Structure 1
Amino acid sequence: MDEIVFGERDPKLTYKTRIGAYVVVPDAAQKQILVVEPPNHSYLLPGGGIEPGESDVETIVRELIEEVGGTMQITDYLGRASEYFYSTWRKQAYYHPAHFYAGTGLIKTQAPLEGDFNQIKWMPLEEAAAALKRPTHRWALAKWRQQHHC
């Protein structure tokens, strides 16, 4: 499977590699997805950086508990996409390869471990397609929509 790459590597910058895993979380009607809004007011898919020794799916399970306070069944691997970008929030250039999945049946089991650091909300598919900050996340949503005909 080919990897899609967004952005261009600037040879003047030093990039920190941050490998991630993210999940498209649809509602039961497949009309909305769950998005995470961190303090910088961007919108992202649930997920995050893979910690040493974790698999992609273990990362997603951990991140769902931390960010959402829930669990779900991971059903599909959507693929891998990478991005070169500069984070003004963290003042760091990143090379960010990420694995993207989809799941069903989100069940809220507890309060999010991250408390109210992030805001979590349901967003209509069209709105999310435009609002997701990272092009890799928009790509994953488009791929999920294509597979599910929505």
Structure 2
Amino acid sequence: MIRRFGDSPQSGIRYRRRPGVYAVLLRGRDVLLTHQSAPVPEFQLPGGGIDPGEQALPALHREVREETGWSMAVTRRLGAFRRFTYMPEYDLWAEKLCTVYLARPVARLGPPSEPGHRAIWAPIGTAVGLLGNDGDRHFLRRLLA
């Protein structure tokens, strides 16, 4: 059973399952976050949806590069969670299945290529309070423990 964070599913709404991959990128005691300006400004772990036909780890590398401008090396899988949410950018009610990996940054390749995103290094303790969803915060807290 995958732990759920956030709101319970609402009755009468059809949710589309949307698998995604996310990275906790550590450099010392700092973590690399992405700040997404729209549709709602928020800090997130870098990552996102797995495209049809795409495998999880290549999707993670692509998403981290697009949202932060960094290349990375995956260390290990930390776990998974799910959340039910409305995604206004896609006009979609989604059951997001989020797999989180621990990774290390390898090289800054340039600025983020994803519009409206910027990469931010934050102390891991501060980052816990900045993140926009409970699932992301859960995995950072586990690393702090």
Do Structure 1 and Structure 2 share a fold, with TM-score over 0.5? yes
2:59 alignment partner in structure 1: 59
Say if 1:111 and 1:34 are closer, same or farther in 2 by CA, change over 3 A: same
Identity %: 25
Amino acid at match of 2:134: P
Q: CA deviation at 1:140?
A: 2.0
Identify the residue that residue 127 of structure 2 maps to in structure 1.
Answer: 128
RMSD: 1.9
Q: Which structure is higher in strand share?
A: 2
**How far does residue 90 in structure 1 lie from its aligned partner after superposition?**
5.3
User: Shift of residue 112 of structure 1?
Assistant: 2.7
Q: Distance in 2 between matches of 1:105 and 1:88?
A: 30
Aligned-pair CA distance for 1:75: 0.2
Indicate yes or no: 2:139 matched with 1:140.
yes
Alignment of 1:6-85 (within 5 A): 6=5, 7-27=7-27, 29=28, 31-39=29-37, 40-85=40-85
Count of paired positions? 142
CA distance in 2: counterparts of 1:73 and 1:67, whole angstroms? 16
Judged with a 3 Å threshold, the aligned counterparts in structure 2 of structure 1 residues 130 and 111 are, in CA distance, closer, same or farther, namely: closer
Q: Partner residue of 2:2?
A: 3
Q: Deviations over 1:109-138 (max 9, x none)?
A: 234322x52121111222211221121111
> 5+ residue gaps in structure 1?
none
Partner of 1:101: 101
Query: Which amino acid in the other structure matches residue 33 of structure 2?
Result: V
Q: CA deviation at 1:85?
A: 2.1
Deviations 1:4-45 (A, max 9, x none): 112311112221222110000112x2x221111111321100
TM-score, with length taken from structure 2: 0.86
Give the aligned residue type for 2:41.
H
Return the alpha-carbon distance in structure 2 between the equivalents of residues 106 and 127 of structure 1: 23
Deviations 1:64-107, CA, capped at 9 Å, x for gaps: 22112221110010011101123456554221111100111331
Amino acid at match of 2:34: V
Bigger drift between 85-94 and 130-139 goes to: 85-94
Matched AA of 2:35:
E
